[in-house]
Amino acid sequence: MTNVQGQPQTAGAKADFDAVIIGAGFSGMYMLHSLRDKLDLNVTVLEAGDGVGGTWYWNRYPGARCDSDSYIYCYTFDKNLLQEWNWSERYPEQDEILRYLEHCAERFDLKPDIQFGKRVVEVVLDDDTELWTVRTDKGDAVTARFVIPAVGALSTANMPPIKGLSSFAGKCYHTSQWPHDGVDFTAKRVGVIGTGATAVQAIPEIAQQAKHLTVFQRTPNFCVPARNGRVDPEVTRARKADYDGIRQRIKDSFFGFDLNFIPKAVLETTPEEREQEFDRMWDAGGFAFWLANYQDMFFSKEANDVIADYLKRKIRSIVNDPVTADKLTPKTYPYGTKRQPLDTNYFETFNKKNVALVDASTDGTIEEITPNGIRAGGREYPLDIIVVATGFDAMTGPLKNLGIKGRGGRPLAQEWEDGPQTYLGLAIAGYPNLFTITGPQSPSVLSNMPVSIEQHVEWITECIAHMRRNKLTTIEASPQAQDAWGAHVAEVVNSTLMPGTNSWYMGANIEGKPRRFLPYLGPEGVGGYRRKCAEVAENGYEGFVFTSQGQGRTVHTIAAE
């Protein structure tokens, strides 16, 4: 087994691999391809599942599908792949995305270097050799110079601590841990806990099959229609002809989509003009209403109220019962400060006779789960199946669960007790040669994920290539750069309406989790962040600390070539 060219090691210390990647989803697969095929490194991937796919391997709940347009929710690094693969719908379902990723794994011959069915439980740095030891739940361990968690931002399920959950006599499923052979809801009384983006997809599907569906809502959601369907073949041909332009536009955009804000303030428009724009975006469907609306939406409560009022009127026009419509109407937070769900007949589902809504603020919160169902507001709702759609311990949870211990045995979970601390969302002070793909304090979940994944993978690949050329042993964020980046992330988001909302972006969905904005909402979004990362590299990896053979630790003393 080869080691990274030019990497000095302590006598007798030889790594099993140049790099260990954790996770075989979109990011892990591309990271493997990039390091192995571009840099000729000896790489392995450790994957808990029995197949590739990451999110799309685990999340198989009814209605699971992508909510980014398929023509940009894909790898863009391979032009032939873009031309050859044909998506069936605007928003492909889980099984189609999984087939796509399986196809990519075969196309790039990735599976021989992926170890399936191995969940990483510990990642420990040896201070003397500066090698990482990665252990799995199967009891085996490997060493590597570099460790790259590609575990996704939304992969650690949030199972709320509801009293009596284990006493339920029926079946209980979390949406992110769905049985691969599906669930039959026929003639069943079903309860769904949660009304986030996942529940918004699942509820209409479950309602079509269940005898009766009760939805337990803590906070209502602003939903906009997906408008899914087959894509006109002429549109597909035009997109394939313009993929160079599309790729550049999404890389330079604010959110990684082929979308841009309306370049004026909503308060500067007439009621007639903005109503026309709102109707256009509503009819088009998708994320346009969230990510291509008037630019002052995220900054001015007065502007936000104008936009939110349109959506509230839509809810009242769709839901027949005024009481139910009122329960489904958000009142406690500005529009856009929570994750935007795209729906297909979500609000219409509450017009069905077999669907009931239990709202925490009006009907009472969930008190406990009993052997027969759910008790809320002093009333018991008898159920045969409970579906828990309460989301994830976002962004930090997947990394903290890996048992990472850096210099001096310092656990990452302890380091992040008060919230994540990173530099660019890519690296962490005290954890050398550990790179986090779409980690906390990067655009990550505020972007079209493949765009941010590709940017991080390509940046990490070039960084390691730079280290090889300059015979550098380790790289890590400097504490000063990390602190400055954290302050910048906070300063930017504090100028918006985002921090005032109890969202999972703020960690508010997890009991005891510190309130800190987890992704990065940069002043120029994904495009500006990409340029910042490129600038850091061009300036000799400014803000990073290197070690090299025969030297102590030095701060970005080797300039980029």
Residue-wise DSSP of 11-65: TT---SEEEEEE--SHHHHHHHHIIIIIH---EEEE-SSSSS-THHHH---TT-B
**β-pair type (189-193, 212-217):** parallel
- Asked if 97 and 66 touch (Cβ cutoff 8 Å), the reply is yes
Q: What is the mean pLDDT of residues 492-503?
A: 97
pLDDT-derived band of residue 14, with 50, 70 and 90 as boundaries? confident
CA gap 108, 206 in Å, rounded: 37
25 Cβ neighbours under 8 A, 6+ residues apart: 52, 53, 54, 55, 56, 57, 101, 150, 152
Rounded percentage of the chain residues whose pLDDT exceeds 70: 95
Percent helix / strand / coil, the chain, rounded to 5: 35, 20, 45
> What is the predicted pLDDT for the residue at 448?
97
- pLDDT at residue 47 greater than cutoff 90: yes
* Structure tokens given for 321: 């019962």
Q: pLDDT tens across 188-238, in order?
A: 999 999 999 999 999 999 999 999 999 999 999 999 999 999 999 999 999
Residue 387: strand, helix, or coil: strand
Q: Cα dihedral sign for 174, 175, 176, 181?
A: positive
pLDDT-derived band of residue 555, with 50, 70 and 90 as boundaries? very low
CA gap 152, 158 in Å, rounded: 15
The reported pTM is: 0.95
> What is the predicted pLDDT for the residue at 549?
67
Radius of gyration of the chain (CA): 24
Query: For tokens 């936009």, what's the residue?
Result: 307
CA gap 515, 499 in Å, rounded: 9
Q: Give the HSE-up count for residue 215: Cα atoms under 13 Å, Cβ half-sphere.
A: 31
- Asked if 325 and 359 touch (Cβ cutoff 8 Å), the reply is no
- Asked if 398 and 119 touch (Cβ cutoff 8 Å), the reply is no
* Structure tokens given for 296: 């002052």
Residue 145: strand, helix, or coil: strand
Q: pLDDT tens across 446-463, in order?
A: 999 999 999 999 999 999
> What is the predicted pLDDT for the residue at 551?
52
- pLDDT at residue 93 greater than cutoff 80: yes
* Residue of 418, 437, 463 whose CA lies nearest to 556: 463
Q: How many CB atoms lie within 10 A of CB 522?
A: 21
* Residue of 447, 459, 443, 462 whose CA lies nearest to 520: 443
**β-pair type (43-46, 17-22):** parallel
* Structure tokens given for 87: 């998506």
CA gap 162, 478 in Å, rounded: 41
b/e string for 343-364 if b means 16 or more Cβ within 10 A? bbbbbebbeeeebbbbbbeebe
* Residue of 473, 392, 467, 461 whose CA lies nearest to 426: 461
Q: pLDDT tens across 277-316, in order?
A: 999 999 999 999 999 999 899 999 999 999 999 999 999 9
pLDDT-derived band of residue 397, with 50, 70 and 90 as boundaries? very high
- pLDDT at residue 83 greater than cutoff 60: yes
Q: Indicate the helix (H) or strand (E) that contains 352.
A: none
- pLDDT at residue 533 greater than cutoff 90: yes
CA gap 17, 3 in Å, rounded: 7
Mean of the per-residue pLDDT values of the chain: 95
Strand partners, 357: 215
Angle between helices 26-33 and 449-469 (to 10 degrees): 30
Q: pLDDT tens across 317-368, in order?
A: 999 999 999 999 999 999 999 999 999 999 999 999 999 999 999 999 999 9
Q: For the chain, how far is it from start to end, CA to CA, in angstroms?
A: 28
**β-pair type (212-217, 404-405):** unpaired
pLDDT-derived band of residue 561, with 50, 70 and 90 as boundaries? very low
Query: For tokens 């209605």, what's the residue?
Result: 63
Query: For tokens 């370049």, what's the residue?
Result: 263
Q: pLDDT tens across 421-431, in order?
A: 999 999 999 99
Q: Given strand 379-382, what is the order of strands in its sheet?
A: 366-370, 373-376, 379-382
Q: What is the mean pLDDT of residues 137-163?
A: 96
Q: How many CB atoms lie within 10 A of CB 227?
A: 15
Angle between helices 449-469 and 243-252 (to 10 degrees): 80
- Asked if 416 and 130 touch (Cβ cutoff 8 Å), the reply is no
- Asked if 387 and 206 touch (Cβ cutoff 8 Å), the reply is yes
**β-pair type (171-174, 385-388):** parallel
Q: What is the mean pLDDT of residues 269-275?
A: 97
